[in-house]
Amino acid sequence: MFYLGWIFLCLVTGERIKGFNISGCSTKKFLWTYSAKSEEEFVLFCDLPDPQKSYFYHRSSLTTTQGPERLPCSDSKDLSEVQWYLQPQNGDTLREITKNYSHIILDNITLRFLTMEINNAGSYICRPRIRSPQDEACCVKMVLEVKPKTNISCVNSIPHKQYLLLGSTDSIYCPSLGCQKDAQSPEVTWYQNGRLLYEKRSNPMLLNEIYDFHQGIYTCDYSQSDNESLWTVRAVIQVKTIVKDTTLKPDILEPVKDILEVELGKSLTLYCTARFGFEKDFKPVIRWYSKYSDQELEIPTTEVRSVKTTFEDEIIKCVVHLKEVTQSDLYKTFICFAQNSIGNTTQSIQLKEKKRVVFLYILLGTIMTLVGMLMATALLFMYWIEIVLLYRTYQNKDETLRDKKEFDAFISYAKWSSFESETTSSVNEENLALNLFPEVLENKYGYTLCLFERDVSPGGVYAEDIVSIIKKSRRGIFILSPNYVNGPSVFELQAAVNLALDDQTLKLILIKFCSFQEPESLPHLVRKALRVLPTVTWRGLKSVPPNSRFWTQMRYHMPVKNSKGFTWNYLRIISRIFFTEDSVKQKPLGGAPSPGNGELGPESPPSSPGEERC
């Protein structure tokens, strides 16, 4: 099947070329004269009549024998991509050039001949790859004839590789006119990298000041006639812009150190890198030597490559690879050697066995880094609330502005506590709500609290008043105890939960005053809220001081306010990082009893660690 496909492809291609009539193509004749000992190049340009292409020939230079002055390519839409064909001089069939050969490089609109071969002679045809069916005659036929130079005396008079010194004044000579006198020199058409130089018509071509952009491949054309036809003689010159030859020895860039630490039994790669100044006849030498006692041996080079090349210098690297470093290598001296026409430079290195304590340092450093990260993570977890409060202090943000709310928090507690509850607890719910909360949150931290007994005028409907003050509050604080969840005050929590579902600015805070069991009569919505809402645990007398963990957690859940005079109070949070709560002794606040003042008995044993039992 594959074989049949190739046969079909060849038949289709052959039919397409067979139908290509080259008799209507514009014709030009080129003559390539060569010398047997020189390495000359040759180029052909696809001279389609696109006025935007600067490398096309002047149509005014064409005669009637070279075809029409204007090719019928007006309907072709893309002249930038062309097809090349070759009709050999021996009369073989026309074939398309579709790939590069060993001596011919196909560069779309250019055919570049790297070496001279007699079989290069023939007819070369180019035409647009994309063209209209009516534009089949849009093509150029270039007849190339290859002949040796006949005048032996001036075969090597002008080289095909010429050098121009940057900043100087110099000329480029056409090699094919090297044997003619100035009076006999015809008009010459010059090209640089395929671009037509309109103002240059003489030989040699004078350049007043040489710049780096003058470097490139130049083509010179002139007309020569014989008895039968007019030929265009073409020669190609490779021009390179250079600087003056260096007067310095090579500069060794690598190795830098005199001693190199190695591990015995491991492989080793040595690099010798040197900078060579420009020389027109550049023959650099760079290699490695090993010296032991009085014996000096050259080390086989693994690789030599050019790293960087500029107009002024070239950096070359020499690489050698030692499969295994042995004990005897420690007694050798390895020499990096670089040489140019001015002189040579060397750089020596000595191998030294690497001590293995470096691995221990790396291991200890890694362990200490991990321990430090774990400690930092633990401290961040323990004092996250304090860090957030410090951040709020310096952020100067106030979320209470323009929310049209009157209170920062509404406090709800069991208002009908039994006598037994009051006598068995160190601080009861009413004392916490009416004394401690106003003393700390209002007086010390500037929050505005709403207490039903203090801030609501009597005589209203209880349910409506509760709903009204909750709507006016940014937070709802609910002190939970058995008296609360089993009493009528639980209505306030239920109302707040319902309102919070519609008001995103209202947030609820639960205070677990003491342990309790949820009654079966508790509404489902309240029961669910007890499991998802943030909860702060009251821990008896330990929670009374204003710098205790309890009040820190309360400020964390309270609205962010930018109040003057509270920076010092916020900065006191830092002391918690260095001092424990037990080391802080402070006078009880707002009626909070001390353990020995006789007002209340000692603190009851908690039902769980750190938790009050009612």
Please answer whether residues 132 and 207 qualify as being in contact, where contact means their C-beta atoms are separated by less than 8 angstroms: no
| Phi, psi of 440, deg, nearest 5 | -90, -55
**Residue 93 C-alpha from the chain's centroid:** 55
Cβ atoms within 10 Å, residue 529: 19
- Distance, first Cα to last Cα, the chain: 95
Residue 432 DSSP label: I
Cβ atoms within 10 Å, residue 497: 20
Can you list the positions of beta strands (E) in 49-98?
A: 78-88, 95-97
Among candidate residues 492, 518, 520, 611, the one labeled active-site is: 492
- Say which amino acid occupies 294: D
Compute the C-alpha angle 341/343/346, nearest 5°.
Answer: 130
- Say which amino acid occupies 286: I
Q: Is 314 a catalytic residue?
A: no
Please answer whether residues 317 and 307 qualify as being in contact, where contact means their C-beta atoms are separated by less than 8 angstroms: yes
Three-state SS sequence of 123-192: EEEEEEEECCHHHCCCCEEEEEEEEECCCHHHCCCCCCEEEEECCCCEEECCHHHCCCCHHHCCCCEEEE
Q: Which of 495, 326, 325 is nearest to 410 (CA)?
A: 495
Instruction: Measure the CA–CA gap between 221 and 232, rounded to whole angstroms.
Output: 6
CA–CA distances in Å: residue 436 to residues 136, 307, 427, 454, 480: 102, 79, 10, 15, 16
Instruction: Measure the CA–CA gap between 126 and 428, rounded to whole angstroms.
Output: 105
Instruction: Measure the CA–CA gap between 352 and 327, rounded to whole angstroms.
Output: 10
Residue pointed to by tokens 């000041």: 209
Phi-psi category of residue 591: left, alpha or beta, with phi > 0 → left and psi -120 to 50 → alpha = left
Which sequence positions are flagged as catalytic?
492
